[in-house]
């Protein structure tokens, strides 16, 4: 719905929790895990171009990445694993845009995502910025998840997926990816969050 003429453009979104999140100046006080889980369970990876009765959601992907981070670095602290689970949290409001589109939009998209990520981290008692070593580990787990998603769900040949994302380490257990319904993906994400961030 367009803004009324003469009014400044609206840069906030009302969440189902009742919170009003300003995308340009996000406040940690306006972030709720239920809104994040609800949104991520409804955002499709691969622009929805995956096999199965349901889209493979960002919520499911986030759970896979957190599991992979734990396998790659078994002694990782709970706080670091929570950062892994929330690594794509900004997508609950901005969606999962493919890299070429991000490059084409006329705003500093990365800065917008980083502001949202900082607000999410502060909301849940995490450092505002991900330490560089953990950032590298998250990127590696993200690429491994992308490899499995590409070959199991998105129709990629293994050789093409290896070229784009690298080969997963042989010691990792290969996940069997089955896209879940939005309700199941949301519940799975929330269950993992509450395990990592007890009240």
Domain residue ranges in the chain: 19-196
Average pLDDT for residues 134-141, to the nearest whole number?
97
Got the DSSP string for 120-186? HHHHTT--SS--HHHHHHHHHHHHHHHHHHHHHTS---HHHHHHHH-PPPTTSPPP---PPPHHHHH
pTM, two decimal places: 0.91
Average pLDDT for residues 89-105, to the nearest whole number?
77
Instruction: Domain 19-196: give its CATH superfamily.
Output: Hypothetical protein af1432 (1.10.3210.10)
Average pLDDT for residues 47-69, to the nearest whole number?
97
pLDDT at 95 over 90: no
With CA atoms as reference, report the closest residue to 60 among 37, 94, 32: 37
In the chain, % of residues over pLDDT 90:
80
If one compares 100 and 179, the residue with the highest pLDDT of the two is 179
pLDDT of residue 106: 58
Other Cβ atoms closer than 10 A to 4: 7
């Amino acid at each position: 719905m367009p803004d009324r003429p003469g009014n400044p453009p609206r840069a906030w979104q009302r969440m189902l929790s009742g919170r009003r999140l300003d995308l340009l100046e996000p406040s940690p006080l306006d972030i709720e895990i239920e809104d994040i889980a609800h949104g991520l369970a409804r955002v499709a990876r691969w622009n929805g171009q995956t096999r199965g009765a349901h889209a493979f959601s960002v919520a499911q992907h986030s759970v896979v990445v957190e599991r992979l981070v734990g396998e790659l670095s078994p002694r990782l602290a709970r706080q670091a694993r929570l950062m892994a689970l929330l690594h794509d949290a900004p997508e609950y409001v901005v969606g999962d845009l493919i890299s070429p589109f991000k490059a084409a939009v006329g705003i500093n998209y990365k800065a917008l995502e980083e502001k949202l990520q900082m607000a999410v981290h502060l909301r849940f008692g995490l450092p505002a910025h991900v330490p560089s070593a953990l950032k590298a580990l998250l990127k590696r787990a993200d690429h491994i998840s992308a490899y499995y998603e590409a070959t199991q769900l998105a129709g990629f040949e293994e050789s093409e997926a290896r070229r784009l994302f690298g080969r997963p380490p042989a010691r990792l257990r290969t996940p069997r990816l089955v896209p879940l319904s939005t309700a199941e993906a949301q519940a799975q994400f929330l269950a993992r969050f509450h395990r990592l961030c007890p009240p």
